[in-house]
Structure 1
Amino acid sequence: MEFGILGPLLVRDECGEYRVPSPKQRVLLAALLLRRGQVTAPEALAHSVWDGQPPRSAAALQTCMMRLRKSLGPIGARIETRAGGYLLDVAATEFDLHRFTELRAQGLAALRAYEYEQAAALLDAALDVWRGEALLDVPSDTLHSEHADRLADERLQAVEARLSAELQLGRRSVVPELHALTAAHPERERFWAQLMTALYREGRQAEALAVYQRVRRLLGTELGVQPGPELRELHQRILRADLRPTAHRPEFTPRRRPQAHLALR
């Protein structure tokens, strides 16, 4: 069995995938999955399904639950009615979010232990769990505000960590990937620092310095701030041609930035 929220909603067993056509039923299933193994009160489920404006009658949720069980065929029996609410009986290993969380944690631990090959492999496996944006086809502002942004950030943190391991290993060029990532997420200093490091190590010092000037202008224009101290230190090390790989730690530990949309200039 496999259940997924990291992309389009997924329910699959050895017979194939189960389609949940109703938007409200998809929200209800996602809400149950996000509370996997927990008894959830009907009021909490209704809040997610109707985005904070649930109907007065409890019968509406009961009808939605009945139709969801029917859509899931034999798997619908896994939605149990308990005292105080409903519980979806899904094993941790059957849920893509659990697999991602575990692999990510193992990869980060390996990175902290300087086990770069293992870290890169574990973080690659964690990222392979994703099939698209979290809760992609689940139309609930409530669930998205409570979960989607956090999960997207955890995914990007895993990308950053995997690239740190790749830079330590130096086995392939990560420059094209980092160009794409800085374009998509210009507010994340970690990606800019990794791009500068990768360019420098390929003998492209002038390009690495140009990247720093670009992000400095970008942050100043859009956020009114200067690059963080770690990024400034990296810039100085590149100016001095003093950026050597180290077996002890990844090159860059960024400070947090307030979230903002930055347009590339």
Structure 2
Amino acid sequence: MTGNAVGTGVPLIGVLGSLTVSVRGRPVVPTASRLRTMLAVLALAAGEPVPIGRLAAAVWGDDPPQDVRRTTQVYVARLRRLLGAELIRTVPAGYALMVEPDNVDARLFVRLVDAAARATEPDTERALLVAALALWRGDPFQDARSAWLDRVEAPRLVDRRLAALERRIELDLADPSPALVAELQGLTARYPLRERFWAS
């Protein structure tokens, strides 16, 4: 993740693995699982409005509280106390976490992969893919799980990770190494249906 927010009040947020949040260099991860889920959903939008309905679907699924709007307000108030009141803005459509996309690892990952796809030099493309893949620390949303995240967001991110990994391996095959062979063996065992790993 980029470090341009280190030492400022802008949080650095990681969702590609367990949830990590750092404000002014201090970890401030919520302890309550539903708060972690709400923060993950807000972070994925990175400055864009998130409707209350989407937050409710992610946090409570098919068992919402009786007063969704009021309960959401209570949860947002708790996040504001944790992160800083100015970082979560109330907007007509719902709420927005006021961070730059590059301060959220999932958004930075997507930007780097998109930049790699536009690169005209193989070395540049590979460097961007390596930087993007290095952001992953495990399965996304490990401790901020919800049926909505598992169904909507996690598969999209995992598919993009595997596609980026496949492309990085294609580039590495120009000069294969024993480490690459071992990596491919592990990947074909873990993802037997990904034909491009077998083709490599």
Instruction: Say whether the fold is shared (TM-score over 0.5).
Output: yes
Q: Which is greater in Rg?
A: 1
AA in 2 matched with 1:103: L
Is the counterpart of residue 187 in structure 1 residue 197 in structure 2? no
Q: Counterpart in 2 of 1:172?
A: 177
Name the counterpart of 2:76.
65
The Cα offsets for residues 206-252 of structure 1, whole Å up to 9 and x where unpaired, read as xxxxxxxxxxxxxxxxxxxxxxxxxxxxxxxxxxxxxxxxxxxxxxx
**Which segment drifts farther, 176-185 or 28-37?**
28-37
Aligned residues: 188
Aligned to 2:8: none
For residue 256 of structure 1, what is the aligned residue in structure 2? none
Matched to 1:70, the amino acid is R
Shift in Å, 1:171? 5.3
Q: Which runs of 5+ in 1 are unaligned?
A: 195-265
Residue 77 of structure 1 pairs with residue 86 of structure 2 = yes
Report if aligned partners of 2:44, 2:104 keep a CA contact under 8 Å in 1: no
Letter in 2 for 1:93: D
Contact 1:6–1:97, Cα closer than 8 Å, also in 2: yes
- SS state at 2:112 partner: helix
Task: Report if aligned partners of 1:116, 1:166 keep a CA contact under 8 Å in 2.
Answer: no
TM-score, with normalisation over the residues of structure 1? 0.67
Is the aligned partner of 1:121 residue 2:131? no
The answer for the alignment partner of 2:141 in structure 1 is: 135
Q: Distance in 2 between matches of 1:52 and 1:180?
A: 37
Q: TM-score, normalised by structure 2?
A: 0.87
Q: Which has the higher contact order (CA 8 A, sep 6+)?
A: 2
Task: State how far apart, in whole Å, the 1-side matches of 2:125 and 2:182 are.
Answer: 21
Displacement, 1:82?
1.9
Equivalent pair of 2:58/2:148 in contact (CA under 8 Å): yes
